Amino acid sequence: MFGSPTDRRTHAARAVVTGAGSGIGRAFAVELARRGGTVICADIDADRARETVALIEQGGAGSAHAVFCDVSRTEDIDALADLAEDHFGAPTSLMINNAGVGIGGRPVGEIGLEDWQWALGINLWGMVYGSEKFLPQLRRSGRAGLVNVASTAAFSAAPSMAAYNVGKAGVLALSETIAAESGGSDLAVTVLCPTFVKTNVAVDGRIAGGASQLAQTVMRWTGMSPEKVARTTLDAHDRGRLYVVPQPDARLIWAAKRHLPRTYTAGLGVLNRALPALDRLTSPTTPEPTRTGV
Ligand SMILES: NC(=O)c1ccc[n+]([C@@H]2O[C@H](COP(=O)([O-])OP(=O)(O)OC[C@H]3O[C@@H](n4cnc5c(N)ncnc54)[C@H](O)[C@@H]3O)[C@@H](O)[C@H]2O)c1
């Protein structure tokens, strides 16, 4: 259960949020400021990070500072950690490793090594660097927290999403290991595994044309709001929860994969073969896959 607000890690935190310029990261930053925190908003898009800071300043609670940081570059994460400790005048007390990109729409064998490296560089190595560099600071801080943003993709084995799935599975394993290493200490670890959340992830990433449209449509219809995801995750973190699987469909996928792994994977295969046929039936011409964004 919750203690008093002063006991809660997400209240009055000295927090760093990566990917804070949009979507879930922005919602984390705004919510942490609302809870009285001082927030470093780090993003590869510094203008978007500054927009988040402006939103926080309009809200009138907490305080925030925007920083450019490409999480796939160790030197940027080193600089972020140093800047955070200087800015706070104390070690960071809450690290939210959130920055990530969407990639999908092609099966293994057609993804290309450049796309694998790009996606894993951000989605996996970014979180490895963020954890490796910030953990000593978090441990020095006393009562501290680490939140890593994975995805249901970590265990759902969705076809045509291997580069995304592999990165997120790594983030899940990384978070579970840090939690085991931190047992009995003052460091709490949480890993977030949502399905669809209404953000820019399917627009800005490298998702083949048809798959990007499909993801955006499903996201629009079924996606949870990033604000609700952020609040739910921070509250669960305060309760000491390791796993946050916020949506019923995510929990269903997790249960099916754990209890009926062979049936689950076989079912996915059938669905994967049926979908293109369904698509041909419902659309007069199937467009050639095109890249969205970079
Ligand atoms: N939206 C979903 O449906 C969903 C579902 C599961 C998991 N996630 C995960 O949530 C996290 C946040 O994504 P989102 O949905 O809010 O997407 P988003 O695209 O709205 O926001 C991602 C932010 O990360 C930033 N970013 C991208 N590359 C970066 C880099 N190299 N260094 C620093 N910042 C970088 C972007 O500029 C952007 O501001 C990601 O890790 C994503 O994989 C999203």
Q: Is residue 288 part of a domain?
A: no
Residue 12 to residue 5: CA distance in whole angstroms: 8
Can you tell me which atom of ligand 1 is nearest the CA of 153?
6
- Taking Cα atoms as reference points, which of 220, 278, 280, 224 lies closest to residue 27? 224
Contact 291, 209 (CB under 8 A): yes
- For residue 51, tell me if it sits in a domain: yes
From 45-54, 87-96, 114-123, 192-201, the region with the lowest mean pLDDT = 192-201
Residue 122 lies in a domain: yes
**pLDDT at residue 43 above 80?**
yes
**294 domain-assigned:** no
Name the percent of the chain lying above pLDDT 90.
78
| pLDDT value at 292 more than 60 | no
Across the range 255-275, mean pLDDT stands at 90
pLDDT beyond 60 at 101: yes
Residue 293 lies in a domain: no
**What is the pLDDT confidence band of residue 279, given thresholds at 50, 70 and 90?**
low
What pLDDT is recorded for position 6? Answer: 56
Q: How far is CA 34 from the centre of its chain?
A: 20
Q: Is residue 285 part of a domain?
A: no
Closest CA to 227 of 55, 62, 54, 89: 55
Residue 194 CB–ligand 1 contact under 6 Å:
yes
Indicate if the alpha-carbon torsion angle 30, 232, 12, 200 is positive or negative.
negative
CB atoms within 10 A of CB 127: 26
Catalytic residue among 129, 164, 243, 264: 164
Output the pLDDT for position 3: 55
On whether residue 143 sits in a domain, the answer given is yes
**Is a pLDDT exceeding 80 seen at residue 217?**
no
Place of tokens 């969705």: 158
Q: Is 243 a catalytic residue?
A: no
Range of the domain at 139: 5-257
Q: Is 118 in the pocket of ligand 1 (CB under 6 A)?
A: no
CA 19 to ligand 1 center in whole angstroms: 6
Strands 103-104 and 94-97: unpaired
CATH number of the domain residue 50 falls in:
3.40.50.720
Residue 99 included in any domain: yes
Task: Give the chain's domain count.
Answer: 1
Q: According to the model, what pLDDT value does residue 289 have?
A: 40
User: pLDDT value at position 162?
Assistant: 97
Q: What span, in angstroms and rounded, lies between the C-alpha atoms of 60 and 220?
A: 30
